[in-house]
């Protein structure tokens, strides 16, 4: 019974460490991007009309089609900037990062204990506003660009580290859990998206809250990537 409890204890510690890494990774990206957008809003002196635009957001990334049978639904962050061409037309260059899990079926086929997957894209996105002057502004948006998907196979290992304890005032050796990379598979290609959303003004700050959903298709090899990310964010 003792070895069994020890095994479950290691697994629990590994899952907690993995969750902390994922939360920290996402938080750093979102906080950094939000600071940039907020700084631009302050510099604009709350003007409603401006030539340039920027946005930062994040949300869930449900997968559809064959890829949903091999990867688990995940999350994403998006950062972009661009130009207000007219009062109704805007175009932006956006970078998006999507994080996914790997399905148990794929792990069993590869005979590995664990894995993760991510996809990043760089796209040009024209957007047509339908009600430019109102506080509630629906819009349609599309995009085309480059997509790159990577699946990594890993296993948990104990890594020796030398750390400083500020409470005891000394250094000591210990072990922490980490992912050892066993291999990866990368596919890339051209893709596009189409969707709709809305934005609403946040008082007189010059910022707008927006939410949108888009269908994405990327030609990433034998199994293309299809997903419908739902994004919540701030736009300047």
- State the residue for tokens 């927006």: 210
pLDDT in tens, 218-227: 999 999 999 9
User: Residue 92's beta-bridge partner residues?
Assistant: 82, 125
| pLDDT digit string, tens, across residues 136-189 | 899 999 999 999 999 999 998 887 877 777 777 777 778 787 888 899 999 999
pTM given for the model: 0.75
Q: Which domains occur in the chain, in start order?
A: 2-153+188-235 (2.40.160.20)
């Amino acid at each position: 019974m003792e070895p069994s409890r020890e095994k479950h204890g290691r697994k629990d510690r590994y899952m907690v460490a993995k969750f902390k890494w994922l939360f920290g990774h996402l938080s750093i990206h979102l906080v950094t991007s939000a600071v940039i957008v907020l700084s631009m809003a302050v510099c604009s002196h709350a003007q409603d009309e401006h030539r340039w635009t920027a946005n930062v957001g994040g949300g869930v990334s449900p997968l559809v089609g064959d890829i949903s049978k091999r990867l688990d639904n995940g999350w994403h962050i998006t950062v972009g900037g661009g130009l207000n061409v007219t009062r109704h037309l805007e175009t932006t260059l956006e970078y998006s990062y999507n994080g996914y899990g790997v399905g148990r079926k794929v792990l069993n086929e590869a005979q590995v204990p664990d894995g993760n997957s991510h996809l990043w894209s760089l796209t040009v996105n024209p957007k047509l506003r339908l009600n430019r002057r109102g506080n509630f502004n629906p819009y349609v948006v599309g995009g085309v660009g480059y997509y790159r998907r990577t699946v990594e196979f890993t296993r948990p290992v104990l890594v020796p580290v030398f750390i400083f304890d500020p409470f005891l005032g000394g250094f000591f050796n210990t072990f922490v859990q980490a992912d050892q990379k066993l291999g990866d598979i990368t596919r890339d290609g051209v893709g596009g998206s189409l969707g709709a959303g809305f934005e609403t003004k946040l008082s007189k700050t010059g910022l707008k809250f927006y939410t949108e959903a888009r269908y994405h298709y990327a030609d990433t090899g034998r199994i293309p990537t299809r997903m419908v990310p739902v994004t919540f964010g701030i736009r300047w």
